[in-house]
Chains A and B, each alone.
Chain A
Amino acid sequence: MATETPLEGDVGRRRKQAVKEKLLLRDLALRHRLGILGVGLLALLPLLAQPRELNQFTYVLYLMMFAISWDVVSGYTGQLSFGHAFFFALGGYGTSVTVNQHLVPLLDGLGVTLGPVGTTVVILAGIVGGTLVAALGGVLIGVPALRLEGPYLSLVTLIAPLLLYQSFIIFGEELPVLAPNGLGGTSGLLNEPPSFVGIGTNAAVTVDQLWVDAVARYYISFLALLIVLAVTYGVTRSAAGSVFTAIREDEDAVQSVGLNPAKFKIFAFVLSAAVGGFAAAVWMHAGPNAYPNTENLFGPGRIDLSINVIVVAVIGGMGTIVGSLVGALFFAFADSVIGAFVPELKPLPTFLLGMVALTFLPRGVVPEATRFGRRLLAWRRGEVDSLVERDRTSAAKRTVDRYREEIEEIIGGEGR
C-alpha cells in the first residue's frame, strides 16, 4: 500500500552530491566568504600579537565557545538559560578532578611514569571526562525543561549554578568516590591540572619561552573553537537545527509532523552543555590563567560569567552561532577599553552594553549586518524592490512572542 510520494528516487546520492558541492566552497554567499575570511584572520593573529596580548585574546576564544554553548539552547530552541556557568564549572572541575584525583594517582600507584605522550593522553581523557560530566548536567537541566515553561525554566537554570557552588563548599574536603580530595571550597582546586604545553614542569610538552607558550596555547584553543564550530554549525544547519527553531516557534507544530520535541529539547541541552563543558575542560589544560576555581568558572560574583555569555550572544545575535564570535570580539574590545581606563568599574560597563543592546538592537549585530548587506547587494544589482525586504522575523522576536503567549497563559491576562 506504499503511498507514492516525491520522496522516491536516489535520495542518498543526491544528498552526497549536494554536500560535496557545498564543501567545494563554490557558490558561497558573500557572508559565508566573510565568515571564512574572519576565521582565517583569527588563525593568523599570533603573527601580529605580543605574548601578553595574545594570552588575553586566547581567553576571548573561550568566551566565544561559551557563548556558542548558550546560543545552541537559548538562541535556537528559545529555552532561556540564566546559569550557563553550571555547565562550564562541571566541565572545568570535571577534567581537573578526573586527571588529578583519579588518573594521575591511579597511574602513580601502578608505577607508570608519564612522558609527553602519556600526559597528553591523560589530559585528553580528562577533557572527555569533563565533557561527559557537563553533558550529564545537560540532562539534569533538560529533563525539567520538558515540564517547565518560560521564566520558570530560567529560574531553575539560575539556581543550578548556585547549588553547584554550594556543593563545592559542602564537598570541599571530600566527595566520596567521585572526588576523593574534595572540590576545594570557594578557593577552588589548588592542585592545577597539567597543561598540554607549558613553561613549568606540569605540562605534556615543556617549553622555555613565553611566546612559544602563548602561541601554543592559542592554537590549541583555536583548534577547540574549530571543533565547537564544526559540531554546532553541523547540527544547527542540518534538519535538527530547523527542528530546534521550530520548537522555539511552536512545539505543537513540531509534534504534528511526527517529530518528538522532548527528544530535541533534551538534545539541545545536552549538546549545549557538552560544548560548554568541553570548552571549559580544554581551558583548564590550554587556556591562559587556567585555574580550576569558582572565580574563573562562575565569574567573580558567582553569576557574572553566565551573564557575560548572554551579553555576548545577544550583542552578536541570538540563534546564529556566528553571532557569538562577533559578539565576543565586541565584548572583549569593550572590556579591554574599560580595563585600560576604569578597571575598578568592571563588570558594570559590559553589563550596560548588554542592556543597551537588548533595548536598542535586540536582533543583534550579525543579523542586522546580514540584512543590510543583502539590501546593499540587491541595490547594486539594481533590484529596487528588494530594498523593501520581506522581514523574516528574528530569533529574539520569535522567542519574545512565545514567552508572551506563555506568560499570558500563566496569568490568564488578555490584551497585554
Chain B
Amino acid sequence: MVLGEIATATVTAIFLSALYAIIAIGFTLIFGVGGILNFAHGAFITVGMFAGFLATSDAFLIALPIWAGLLAGTAAGALIGAVTYLGIIRYVRDRPVTILILTFVIGFFIIYAIRIGARDVFGVNDPLAIPVPQVMGTAFLNDVYIFVTSWLLIGLLFYFVNYTRTGRAIIAVSQSDKGAALVGIDAEKINLITWTVAGAFAGYAGVLLAGAFGNGSWLMSIQPPAPLILSFAIVILGGLGSIKGSIAGAYIIGFAETFTVNFVPGGEQLAGVSSLVLLVVFLLVKPEGLFGRGAGE
C-alpha cells in the first residue's frame, strides 16, 4: 500500500516538476545571459495565459481549440518579452538597480493592464478566475502532454544554445559582453533574442499552468504556485543562470512539494508554498545554489 502511494506520488512529482521547469526556464535564460533578475517574468507568464484565454474563448469572433491557444500564448509571450527589452530594458542596461525596480514595476503594470482588460474590455466576471482549458481531455493525459513537451522544448533549447551559431553567441555574451563584441557578436541582438525566447517559454508555460490548475488569474504570478517566486526559487536552488541547474531545481521543488503534501501530516497546507519555504531556507543557508553557472550547461 505504502509503496503504491509512493509510486503515485513519484509520478505526480515528475509531472509537476516538468511544469515547474518550463515555468522557470525563461527566467534562467535572461539571468544567465544578461545578468538580470527579471521581476516581470511572472507577468510574461500571465500574458501567455491571457492570450490563451482570448484565443480559446469567444471574446473574439470564434472560440479556437486549445492548440491555437498554446500558439497564441507562446507568441504573445515572445512579443511581450521582445517589447519589454526593446522598449525599456535596452535603455537602462547598464543600470542594474534601475532595471531591478523597472522590471518589478513593469511586471505589475502588465498584470494590472490584464486585469483592467479582462474586466472592462473582455467582460470577464472575475479576473481572478480566467478560464483556460487544459490541453488534453483527462488530467493524466494532460500531465503527460506537459511532461513530454516540456522536455522536448528544453531539449530543443539546449541544442539551440550549445550547437547553433546564435546559441554559441548567446553563451559568449553571457560570459562577457566585451569579449563577445571583440569577436563581432552583436550583444544587442543576442539580448533581444534571449528576451524573446524567454518570453515565448513563459507564454507557453502560462497557458499550461492555467490549464493544469483549472483557470488563470491576473494575479497568478504571485498566487500559489506563484510562478514568479517559484522561478526565483528554482533558479537559486539550481545555481543562477544554469539551464541544467534550473531543471534540477525544478525537480527538487516538485518532489519536495509533492512529498510534503502527501506524506507530512498537515502538509496539504503547503501545496504551492513549499517553494517559498525552501527558497527562504536556501537563501539563508546557501545563496550560491547547488550548481555553478553557465547559460549553456
Contacts and interface: CB of A to CB of B under 8 A. Distances in A.
A157 B293 CA distance: 25
Main secondary structure of the interface of B (DSSP, over half): helix
Interface string B271-295: 0010010011001100110000100
A156 B276 CA distance: 9
A156 B177 CA distance: 30
A352 B229 contact: no
Interface in A174-188: none
A411 interface: yes
Given A156-B283, A302-B222, A413-B174, A358 B112 contact: no
Interface stretch (B48-56, B61-69, B95-103, B131-139): B95-103
B105 A355 contact: yes
- Looking at B109, B276, B288, the one whose CB has the most chain A CB atoms below 10 A away is B109
Contact of A301 (B115, B176, B293): B115
Interface residues of A, number: 50
Given A148-B283, A301-B219, A351-B108, A396 B35 contact: no
A301 B112 contact: yes
A78 B94 CA distance: 17
B96 A407 contact: yes
B175 interface: yes
Contacts of B109: 348, 351-352, 355
A412 B293 contact: yes
Interface in B173-197: 174-179
Contact of B120 (A152, A344, A354): A344
B112 A80 contact: no
Contact of A348 (B37, B104, B112): B112
A80 B97 contact: yes
A144 interface: yes
B92 interface: yes
A348 B113 contact: yes
Contacts of B101: 80, 310, 314, 358
Given A80-B101, A403-B96, A351 B276 contact: no
Contacts of A144: 280, 283-284
B95 A147 contact: no
Interface in B65-98: 88, 91-92, 94-98
A360 B120 CA distance: 31
- Looking at A159, A162, A351, A352, the one whose CB has the most chain B CB atoms below 10 A away is A159
Contacts of A412: 293
B116 A80 contact: no
B24 interface: no
Contacts of A148: 283-284, 287
Interface in A241-270: none
A345 interface: yes
Given A80-B97, A411-B241, A354 B105 contact: yes
B232 interface: yes
B35 A413 contact: yes
B287 A152 contact: yes
Given A162-B222, A302-B219, A412-B293, A400 B97 contact: yes
B229 A155 contact: yes
Contact of B37 (A151, A156, A304, A415): A151
A362 B95 contact: yes
A203 B110 CA distance: 42
Contacts of A348: 109, 112-113, 116
Contact of A159 (B96, B280, B284): B280
Interface of B: 31-32, 35, 37, 39, 88, 91-92, 94-98, 100-102, 104-106, 108-109, 111-113, 115-116, 120, 174-179, 219, 222, 226, 229, 232, 236, 240-241, 273, 276, 279-280, 283-284, 287-288, 293
Given A302-B222, A396-B98, 4 more contacts: A144-B284, A155-B232, A411-B293, A416-B177
27 contacts: A144-B284, A147-B287, A149-B287, A151-B100, A152-B287, A155-B229, A159-B229, A159-B276, A159-B279, A163-B276, A307-B105, A344-B116, A351-B105, A352-B109, A355-B88, A358-B102, A359-B88, A359-B92, A396-B97, A399-B97, A403-B96, A407-B96, A413-B174, A413-B175, A414-B176, A415-B177, A416-B176
